Amino acid sequence: MPAFVQEIRIQLPHIDLAARVYGPEDGQPVLALHGWLDNCMTFELLAPKLQGLRIVAIDMAGHGHSGHRAPGAGYQLWDYALDALMATQQLGWEKFSLLGHSLGGIVSVLIAASVPERVERVALIDGLVPDTGEADKAAKKLGEALLAQIDLAAKKKTVYASIEQAVQVRMRGFMPVSQLASELLAQRGLSPVAGGYSWSSDARLTLPSPLRLTMAHAAAFVQAVQCPMLLVLAEQGVLVKEPQFMQFLNTLSLDVQRLPGGHHLHLDDEEGAQAVAEQVQAFFSTQ
């Protein structure tokens, strides 16, 4: 482990969160939030390239080395937002900035919009707003989510014979990543079990959302952000493939920088991490 990286635990009243800390103690405080089914190793290539920042990259609840939520609890966006805000209080940060990838970017927007007096800057990597759903589909979606939650108890996690097999499968997942990215995520995401290895993330993370924000809700949250906000958009990522999202993006007054690479462009290779770092560094260096 590099000398400038620390492992810490943040004890909240309802859950313990694990985190990796990068950068000098007197750097600008930045809370880094990773994507769905990833962990804080998603920032392992990027964070060391950012100067003057004190980056605390947490494993969000149910991911990595952090605790899982209690039985009966869930993993809604606002639950993550509460965890993050409470974590900054434990860290003694009156004001802070946010660095979020994918799901972590969505949660970052919710936090910045909801408590604007606490947030100084928001840097997003291929994440801005969640998948939305309009009112006429709400009842059907809730029914699907409730039944999926009931059925989850009968499902078993996949066990891989080796770490290498798990890495290869993760590379070809819903959001494909490079071998380097998969290996880094596996370092923190795999646990030994009977017969091999399994991802330690909470199985409830795969459940469908019982209720989605409408497009009007999503727009209102983005428009409520009062601090400077940067979106690094991956040209081969998931967002640019969604016509509705791109139409929505064109209606916003937002600093958008497009870079080559996939959804995990900051983690897939050193070149992508450097390109993202240059944009993020410039963003945090401006007055």
Q: Which residues are marked as active site?
A: 102
Q: How many Å apart are CA 262 and CA 157, to the nearest integer?
A: 27
Burial label for 11, CB within 10 Å (0-12, 13-18, 19+), is exposed
What is the C-alpha to C-alpha distance for residues 21 and 112, in angstroms, rounded to an integer? 21
Pairing verdict, β 96-101 and 119-125 = parallel
Spatial contact of 284 and 28, defined as CB atoms under 8 Å apart: yes
Specify the residue for token string 């707003």.
129
Where b means 16+ CB within 10 Å and e means fewer, 37-69 reads: bbbbbbbbbbbbbbeebbbbbbbbbbbbbbbbb
